[in-house]
Every structure is written in C-alpha cells, then in structure tokens.
Amino acid sequence: MTARQAAYQVVLRVFEDDAYADRVLRSAAEGLDTRDRALAQRLAYGTVQRVRTLDHAIEQLGRRPVRKLDPPVRAALRLGAYQLAYAEGIPPHAAVNESVELVRRARLERAVAFTNAVMRRLAGGIRELIDSLPDGPLKHSYPDWIAEVWTRDLGADAALALMHVQNEPPETVVRLVRGDPSGEPTDIPGAYRVDRVDERALAEGRVWPQSRGSQLAGLVVAAREGERTLDLCAAPGGKATQLAGEVVAVEIHEGRARELQENVRLLGAENVTVVNADARALPPELTDFDHVLVDAPCSGLGVLAGRPDLRWRAQPLPELQLELLRAAAERLRPGGTIVYSVCTMNADENEAVVEASGLEIEPLGEEWPQFAHPRRSEFLLTLPHVHRTSGFFIARLSA
C-alpha cells in the first residue's frame, strides 16, 4: 500500500463508516516506512480537517453535489482536492493521476472520466476559489456552531485566530516521568517541547506525550504525599500518573480501563489503583478524598488541531459534566478540593457548569497569572492562539 492509498482509506472510513482517523491510520499505514507514514498522516488528517472547504470547491468547480457521488469517488476527490489546495511539494499532475487511479482501483471505471475532469478543473481553480472566500468557518473548515460559540465567548478576532491555529499541527510536548530531560523547558514545570516523541523513552516509561494545557490541569490538583486523590475520568492516565500520594483512577469503559492499567504499569505509577466503574455510581467505600479530579468528557474544542475528525463529531456535554461534579462533591472530605477541567473553550461547558454546581470557587488566577481566564480571572483558560498549547478550562472548587 502506498501513502496515498493509506490516506484514502482513512478519508473513506472516517466519512462513510464514522471511524476514528487515528485508528484507521494505524492499520492502514502498517508496513509503511517512517517517511511514507508521515505523508499518509499529513494527507489524511489534512483532508479530514479541511473537508468542508474541499467539498465546497468540488461542488463549485465540479458542478455536482458531493452527497450524490459514489463513496470511493467522493473520497478520491476530497484527497486530490486537498493535495491541490494545501499540500506543498506535490505536483498537480500527480494529484490528478493518483485520484483517478484510486477510483479505477475501486473498480468504478464508469466514474474515471468524471473524476479526471473534476480534478483538472480543481487543479486550475481551487486555490483561487479558496482565497476568495471570506474569513470564517467555510474558508477554515469548521461547523458554523463552533465559530458561533467562539465568537460569542471570546470575540470575532479570537474566533478567527482559533480557527487559524487549530488547522496547524500542535506543538509536541512530553512530560518528564524520570531520567534526564530532553528538549526545551517550557512555562509548565516538567513539560518539555520536543521535535518528536522519543519512541524508546516512551516505551521505557521515561516520558509521556501530554500537552502543556493538560499538564497544567494535573498540577492544579496540587496533590501531595500522604493525601488521597480520586480521578473520575482517568483514561488514558496522563493526569492520574502525574499525581503524588494515593490515587484511585476511575474509568467507565472496560477497554480504556485496561489501557489505563497498562499505562500506569508502563510509567511505574505504583501509587495509582485503577477502578473500572461509572463515576456516578462508585462503590460506597470510595469516599473521604482530599482531592477529586474531574477531567470530564466534553466537546474537545481545545484539541481540534491534533484530532482532525473531532470537529465533525464534537458535541457539548454540560449535563454529564454537572452530574460528574456533583458525584465528585459526594466523595470529598470536608475541606477537600475538586479540580474541574475540560479540553474545550465553550462557556456552556466551562463557567456555566461550575456555576450550576453550586460549589465554592477557589481563585486560580494569581497562582497561574499567565493562564488566567480573560473574563473570569478566578478560572484558568489556556488558549491555542495565545499560549500555543491545547485549550483547557480549569477550575478549583470546594464543597
């Protein structure tokens, strides 16, 4: 399988089977060398990310509704259009020919001439068409609702900046677990910026890939030796294995709980006990904790740069988030603290959930002034376009 064929499989499966891009890529790119795997990922992720803009161009220049195309033709045109519009270093004729060949390999001979004609029209006009679009969710390929949320919460300029930056590859950061640091120190203690993750160091449990925003959430818990912390949504374990003292790490999904257990073992976090359970219905003996971390499921609008398909499946989850906060309060000892963190920039899932919980807010802005929420300084909000890391909302609360 070639890099383009692997990328094509990802695009086809994500949009026709609702598959996850990273999982499809893992199997589709198996056997490719490092360079071809990187090319497959760049083409696949870029196409998935930019699909709204690409579909607009295909419909305008190809004069056929994308939804009416055969799935293999649709995937081949999207992949080819991405190469013509955004991929530097790929000759237009190569993008055209490969797209036609993908349709031929799918045994759709009747669609070969059509694919060739559309690709040639795209080659002649796609960049100019995209350049002419007004700045906004169509040009930058986001659902309208995401642009509307960011405009409402942060203003039009910040919304555009977020759309720009989350179409670019995120920085690569690792948390140093043990051993000598590698890479460039950052403004988060223990977080190092690297060109790429050292696979050997990862396999030996010396580093863990984890954004600065995510590591900040773990640091805000401020767990110490001799204290007990409950992590209610713990997989894959980055934050749980950051914490000092006794840690009970809860994960509802059986497969993810097994992954969490394996990561705990890999990182040598002997202080962490994994529990496969629903955080809203825990065994009664799990109580009287000094800290509870609620790193809740959310729309993920702060991690769109690293998860290309998430923008098309994201949904806010304020009801679940509030349930988890209330469950956390029931397990807390008097005088203990809850850290609520979500990897999203959306007031409906951020400050509104905290306010609905009725819990007391402990101000964080003076502790971490560089990450203070722009409107509510008692909270932290890492912003991809400002802090160059994933977007995290963080609040520390008490019952």
Written as six digits, the tokens of 308 are 């290309």
Strands 289-295 and 228-231: parallel
- Cα(240)–Cα(32) distance, integer angstroms: 34
**Nearest Cα to 342, choosing from 290, 300, 284?**
300
Cβ neighbour number for residue 312 with a 10 Å cutoff: 16
Place of tokens 């850290």: 339
Distance of CA 245 to the CA centre of its chain: 29
- Could you say which of 343, 353, 354, 383 is catalytic? 343
- Cα(111)–Cα(74) distance, integer angstroms: 11
**Nearest Cα to 71, choosing from 101, 120, 108?**
108
Strands 332-342 and 289-295: parallel
Q: Is 343 a catalytic residue?
A: yes
Q: Counting beta carbons within 10 angstroms of the beta carbon of residue 397, is it exposed (0 to 12), middle (13 to 18) or buried (19 or more)?
A: buried
Rounded (10°) CA dihedral 267, 387, 139, 136: 130
Concatenating the DSSP letter of every residue in 23-39 gives HHHHHHTTT--HHHHHH
Which residues have a catalytic role annotated? 343
